[in-house]
């Protein structure tokens, strides 16, 4: 089928954020065309921890049901220093709440469920695989996009463009926009392995474990008998050597031996990661809006990447729908940028703290971490210092939509930006 010559909303990138935006906009009655450069959902080691807030947002389009049916719900975790447990934490959780604080599931499944949600409105939400946005021109009324698809180059005119094309965003590049911030040197090897296990689903962290002295190692269970294993490599290790199976498999085996996981296993994916704290200064540039990794790159520690991208989608979709349906002026979209840039800056502050603990960037941070871990062995009060701060909704204190300074109103159920508290209907 030929590409349409004109669409109200063009979404560049059919990753989890682009697909969720298309599903949400369709739910509000808005037609979109999503271009995805690849021919399928993502592969490799990507997001696995999906927050309660993300589950709620997916619930707005019915994508929560397959997610919670397949995903592994969890409420807490344990940290170990050498051989000893130094922290057992629980995230805020009430058994009456609809969603668990966190669900583990592979990112490709989130993409599949968002795509299924789009298909509830086939007349509104179109997705084109193997279609790459290659170039664009912006003007005051919209965007003219050059798209490579089906062996040719096509022109698509859009009233609005949403850039969801990930960390290496073509749209960002084409518009000459730069991410601001910094990146950390410390590197983690990320390994997904297949191994049956009957362990409870928890976030597990080991600092300086006997299996891998000097390293930090994280483990998460995923559906389908898959473990995510992340471990820190030494600063002097060559990253290319570090991901070679002959260097990775013995380290993983040593750790599985240490924790008594003896079932046969095989590696699925091996990659390397270093944390970045980067954001655009504004997520609205005229008729072009940025969301997800195209707008910001947040460290994986604390799981704020995809979760904050889904929050972007939840914030942007209703505002763009209102503007397109003539219920609000285009300036409503400025509040999307103000609110979500604010959220990113908070996420980056938390993410930086987590990264400095998980991969201390210098001697001072290493010393402080060592002190906290040693003290946590015997002093319960210190244990909160090593509690991983997992992703949580951010209040929009300075939103232009707030009536006053954003201070909670007397009697208000929730601060701006916070989900309304859940209440159980008895009848
Ligand atoms: C090891 C690892 C673990 C992680 N764990 C977590 C976690 O547990 N929880 C969490 O919240 N986050 C996590 N993240 C972060 C998460 O993976 C990202 O934040 C998420 O993928 C962002 O989604 P996105 O849709 O914005 O971008 P992407 O997933 O990068 O999707 C962008 C899409 O755009 C397509 N594209 C690119 N250029 C073009 C173009 N020019 N035209 C058309 N299509 C294009 C790409 O093919 C891609 O499909 C993790 C990341 C890594 C690397």
**Domain CATH code at residue 58:** 3.50.50.60
The residue whose CA has the least distance to atom 48 of ligand 1 is 15
Q: What is the mean pLDDT of the chain?
A: 94
The residue whose CA has the least distance to atom 4 of ligand 1 is 47
Identify whether 201 is part of a domain: no
- Cα(360) to centroid(ligand 1), Å: 25
Antiparallel, parallel or unpaired: β 76-81 and 84-90: antiparallel
- Cα(257) to centroid(ligand 1), Å: 33
Identify whether 426 is part of a domain: no
- Cα(166) to centroid(ligand 1), Å: 5
How many Å from the N-terminal Cα to the C-terminal Cα in the chain?
50
Identify whether 260 is part of a domain: no
Rounded Cα distance, 38 and 127, in Å: 12
Probe target for ligand 1 pocket from 37, 72, 126, with the most ligand atoms within 8 Å of CB:
37
Most confident of 91-100, 280-289, 396-405: 280-289
Segment holding 373, helix H or strand E: helix 363-376
- Crossing angle (nearest 10°) for helices 107-118 and 16-27: 20
Vertex 399 angle, CA 398 and 405, to 5°:
50
Spell out a b/e string for 177-214, using b for 16 or more CB atoms within 10 Å of the CB, else e: bebebeebebbbbbbbbebebeeebbbbbbbbbebbee
pLDDT in tens, 280-335: 999 999 999 999 999 999 999 989 999 999 999 999 999 999 999 999 999 999 99
pLDDT in tens, 107-121: 999 999 999 999 999
Q: Which domain holds residue 287?
A: 6-73+103-181+276-354
pLDDT in tens, 262-272: 999 999 999 99
- Cα(369) to centroid(ligand 1), Å: 30
Rounded Cα distance, 71 and 107, in Å: 11
- Cα(254) to centroid(ligand 1), Å: 31
Probe target for ligand 1 pocket from 107, 168, 243, 276, with the most ligand atoms within 8 Å of CB:
107
The two three-digit tokens of residue 53, written as one number = 């807030």
The two three-digit tokens of residue 268, written as one number = 């699925």
Identify whether 372 is part of a domain: no
The Cβ of residue 79 has, within 10 Å, a number of other Cβ atoms equal to 23
Identify whether 282 is part of a domain: yes
pLDDT in tens, 15-40: 999 999 999 999 999 999 999 999 99
Identify whether 314 is part of a domain: yes
**Which 3 state secondary structure label does DSSP give 287?**
coil
Looking at the structure of the chain, the number of domains it has is 1
The residue whose CA has the least distance to atom 35 of ligand 1 is 13
Please enumerate in sequence order all residues whose Cβ is within 8 A of that of 385, keeping only pairs 6 or more positions apart, or say none.
372, 376
Ligand 1 neighbours (beta carbon < 6 A)? 12-18, 35-38, 42, 45-49, 107, 132-133, 164-167, 170, 190, 273, 292-293, 300, 303-307, 309
The Cβ of residue 366 has, within 10 Å, a number of other Cβ atoms equal to 13
Rounded Cα distance, 191 and 80, in Å: 20
The residue whose CA has the least distance to atom 45 of ligand 1 is 13
Whether residue 411 has pLDDT greater than 80: no
Nearest 10 degrees: Cα torsion 229, 234, 238, 244: -30
Rounded Cα distance, 356 and 30, in Å: 42
Identify whether 207 is part of a domain: no
Strands in 76-81's sheet, in edge-to-edge order, are: 84-90, 76-81, 203-207, 216-222, 226-232, 180-194, 266-279, 296-297
Probe target for ligand 1 pocket from 306, 309, 340, with the most ligand atoms within 8 Å of CB:
306
pLDDT in tens, 118-173: 999 999 999 999 999 999 999 999 999 999 999 999 999 999 999 999 999 999 99
- Cα(52) to centroid(ligand 1), Å: 19
The two three-digit tokens of residue 355, written as one number = 């990264």
Probe target for ligand 1 pocket from 39, 47, 72, 158, with the most ligand atoms within 8 Å of CB:
47
Matching residue, tokens 């030929």 = 2
Identify whether 238 is part of a domain: no
């Amino acid at each position: 089928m030929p590409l349409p010559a004109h669409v109200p909303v063009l979404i560049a990138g059919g990753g989890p954020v682009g697909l969720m935006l298309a599903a949400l906009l369709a739910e509000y009655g808005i037609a979109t065309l999503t271009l995805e450069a690849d021919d399928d959902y993502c592969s490799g080691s990507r997001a696995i921890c999906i927050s309660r807030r993300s589950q709620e947002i997916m619930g707005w389009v019915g994508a929560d049901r397959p997610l919670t049916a397949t995903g592994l719900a969890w409420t807490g975790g344990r940290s170990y220093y050498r051989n000893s447990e130094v922290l057992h934490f629980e995230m805020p959780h009430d058994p009456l709440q609809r969603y668990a604080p966190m669900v583990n599931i592979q990112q490709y499944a989130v993409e599949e469920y968002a795509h299924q949600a789009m298909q509830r409105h086939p007349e509104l939400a179109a997705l084109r695989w193997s279609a790459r946005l290659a170039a664009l021109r912006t003007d005051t009324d919209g965007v003219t996009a050059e798209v490579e698809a089906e062996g040719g180059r096509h022109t698509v005119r859009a009233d609005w463009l949403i850039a969801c094309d990930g960390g290496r965003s073509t749209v960002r590049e084409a518009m000459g926009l730069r991410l601001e911030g910094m990146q950390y040197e410390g590197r983690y090897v990320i390994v997904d392995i297949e191994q049956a296990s009957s362990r409870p689903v928890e976030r597990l962290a080991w600092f300086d474990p006997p299996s891998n002295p000097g390293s930090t190692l994280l483990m998460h269970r995923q559906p389908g008998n898959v473990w995510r294993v992340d471990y820190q490599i030494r600063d002097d290790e060559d990253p290319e050597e570090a991901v070679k199976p002959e260097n990775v498999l013995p380290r993983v085996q040593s750790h599985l031996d240490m924790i008594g996981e003896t079932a046969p296993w095989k590696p699925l994916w091996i990659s390397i990661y270093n944390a970045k704290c980067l954001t655009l200064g504004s997520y609205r540039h005229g008729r072009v809006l940025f969301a997800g990794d195209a707008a910001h790159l947040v460290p994986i520690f604390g799981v704020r990447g995809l979760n904050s991208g889904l929050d972007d989608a939840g914030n942007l979709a209703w505002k763009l729908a209102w503007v397109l349906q003539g219920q609000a002026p285009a300036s409503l979209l400025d509040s999307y940028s103000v609110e979500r840039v604010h959220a990113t800056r908070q996420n980056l502050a938390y993410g930086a703290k987590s990264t400095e603990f998980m991969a201390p960037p210098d001697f001072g941070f290493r010393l402080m971490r060592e002190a906290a871990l040693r003290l946590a062995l015997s002093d319960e009060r210190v244990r909160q210092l090593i509690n991983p701060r997992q992703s949580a909704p951010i209040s929009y204190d300075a939103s232009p939509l707030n009536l006053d300074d954003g201070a909670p109103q007397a009697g208000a159920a929730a601060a701006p930006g916070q989900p309304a508290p859940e209440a159980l209907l008895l009848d």
